[in-house]
């Protein structure tokens, strides 16, 4: 096709996508113009900086606790993190919904609707995040017992959660505002939300845990402070800089519950599948002893640090797709998925090769060289690239489903992978190859659902275009 012909086709698409008089004169969405690859790279890089900063700080926080010389405290914070992960999964689902709704409105050049949706979503998110954080407090004892925590470890986890869980409302609101900033295309300020909270924790952790001797309570206080900063940074960017927060009105909040829940509920269910799957794998691995479980703990620290870019990509692609769907730019939507797919292959390939080359050095860093733990960690480093290539494909596919009106597909794929793609593969792997067999088994399960997910994502774009 000639260049002129391509321009004519693009113009025709924009004309057909015209939202009508209600939005006449509004700004076009930032992501509906320019290089799709550049948008994917910029948004992913910005999101990755903030995410990796948080992952590094979480790692250091646990490290400081371990320096206190009481393994029970370290274990307690580990158990507390599992509980917090469920709350965070709900917050992520709400953030996905906010970003999807606001980006669609901006893509359709309806800025006033975007402001209304953002304001309504803040009220709804604050209510849900507060309910989750405070509602879990009376059930901490049975929850931690279910996870296997007892004695001093359980007491330490309860002390941590009594401070950190109520601050979940600040984290939920901050993440929702980050979703608004991504929807408008402000990658830099979206990054500032998580980065600012991470920097506060990095400074507060050593002061409160080691300097003042607050121990577990110090780590929890630093976590709560960082979440307040999340909220402040998000309000400044989305409200003050972009003016994307209208004054909430009860009638609008109630009317906007349905579109919010239509995306948020499936997204939350999809996110919760991951901790459930991880818990099952850990229970199978625990049959091989404490050293095998120690390897799982180290791998859980390695994965977000090394593959945080893949996590960030799934959040970055959503608003870009959402704006182009709002503008009915189906040609760009296909290109965005191809760009995201290319980024996953290149990044995961490079990181997987790096981990394979330094695999023997990682156990030395964690002081487990020459043990069963070290052997398993080194083995994971060798196969990590293969495993995370297909996990990355599913991440991109889920972002597409959540932002293009197919959120139930995201839920279905995540739970299918967490069950059919994990349970039989992990059990068969354990039977045939022990702990290494488990790691290989869940890698093979990821292949099936990663490929199926990305192929289905391309199919859904074609379905939308035909409609």
Sign of the CA dihedral running 388, 393, 397, 403: positive
- Mean pLDDT of all residues in 300-329: 79
Tell me: the pLDDT tens digits for 12-25? 333 333 333 333 33
Domain ranges of the chain: 32-255, 269-467
Query: Which residues are CB-contacts of 352 (< 8 A; sequence separation ≥ 6)?
Result: 384, 385, 386, 388, 389
7, pLDDT greater than 80: no
pLDDT of residue 23: 39
Question: Are 144 and 76 spatial neighbours (Cβ–Cβ below 8 Å)?
Answer: no
pLDDT of residue 6: 35
- Mean pLDDT of all residues in 190-209: 82
214, pLDDT greater than 80: yes
Q: Which two tokens stand for residue 52?
A: 């990796």
Tell me: the pLDDT tens digits for 365-399? 777 778 787 888 899 998 888 778 888 888 888 87
Query: Which residues are CB-contacts of 166 (< 8 A; sequence separation ≥ 6)?
Result: 133, 134, 137, 224
262, pLDDT greater than 50: yes
Residues composing the chain:
467
64, pLDDT greater than 50: yes
Confidence band for 149, pLDDT divided at 50, 70 and 90: low
163, pLDDT greater than 90: yes
For the whole model, what pTM was predicted? 0.68
How far is it, in rounded angstroms, from Cα 382 to Cα 84? 30
Element spanning 395, H or E? helix 372-403
């Amino acid at each position: 096709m000639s260049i002129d012909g391509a321009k004519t086709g693009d113009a025709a698409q924009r004309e057909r996508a015209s939202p009508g008089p209600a939005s006449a004169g509004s700004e076009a969405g930032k992501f509906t113009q320019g290089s799709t690859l550049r948008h994917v790279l910029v948004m992913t890089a910005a999101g990755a900086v903030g995410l990796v900063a948080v992952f590094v700080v979480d790692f250091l926080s646990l490290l400081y606790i371990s320096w206190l010389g009481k393994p029970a405290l370290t274990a307690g914070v580990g158990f507390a993190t599992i509980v917090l992960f469920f709350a965070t999964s709900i917050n992520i689902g709400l953030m996905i919904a906010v970003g999807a709704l606001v980006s669609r409105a901006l893509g359709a050049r309806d800025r006033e609707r975007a402001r209304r949706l953002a304001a309504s979503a803040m009220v709804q998110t604050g209510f849900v995040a507060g309910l989750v954080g405070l509602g879990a407090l009376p059930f901490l004892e049975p929850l931690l017992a279910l996870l296997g925590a007892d004695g001093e470890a359980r007491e330490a986890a309860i002390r941590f959660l009594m401070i950190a869980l109520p601050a979940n409302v600040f984290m939920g609101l901050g993440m929702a505002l980050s979703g608004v900033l991504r929807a408008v295309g402000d990658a830099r300020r979206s990054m500032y939300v998580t980065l600012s909270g991470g920097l506060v924790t990095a400074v507060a952790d050593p002061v409160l845990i080691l300097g003042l001797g607050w121990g577990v309570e110090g780590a929890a206080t630093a976590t709560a402070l960082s979440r307040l900063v999340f909220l402040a940074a998000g309000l400044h960017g989305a409200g003050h800089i972009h003016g994307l927060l209208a004054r909430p009105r009860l009638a609008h909040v109630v009317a906007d519950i349905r579109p919010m829940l239509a995306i948020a509920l499936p997204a939350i269910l999809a996110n919760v599948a991951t901790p459930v799957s991880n818990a099952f794998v850990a229970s199978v691995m625990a049959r091989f002893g404490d050293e095998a479980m120690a390897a799982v703990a180290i791998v859980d620290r390695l994965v977000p640090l090394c593959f945080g870019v893949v996590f960030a990509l799934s959040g970055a692609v959503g608003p870009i797709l959402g704006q182009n769907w709002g503008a009915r730019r189906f040609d760009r939507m296909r290109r965005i998925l191809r760009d995201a797919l290319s980024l996953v292959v290149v990044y995961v390939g490079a990181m997987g090769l790096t981990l394979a080359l330094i695999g023997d050095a990682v156990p030395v860093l964690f002081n487990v060289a020459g043990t069963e733990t070290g052997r398993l960690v080194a083995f994971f480093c060798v196969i990590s690239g293969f495993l995370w290539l297909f996990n990355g494909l599913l991440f991109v596919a889920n972002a597409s489903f959540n932002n293009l009106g197919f959120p139930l597909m995201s839920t279905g794929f995540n739970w299918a992978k967490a069950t059919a793609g994990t349970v039989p593969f992990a059990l068969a792997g354990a039977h045939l190859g022990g702990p290494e067999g488990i790691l290989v088994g869940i890698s093979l399960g990821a292949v099936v659902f990663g490929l199926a997910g990305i192929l289905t994502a391309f199919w859904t774009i074609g379905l939308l275009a035909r409609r």
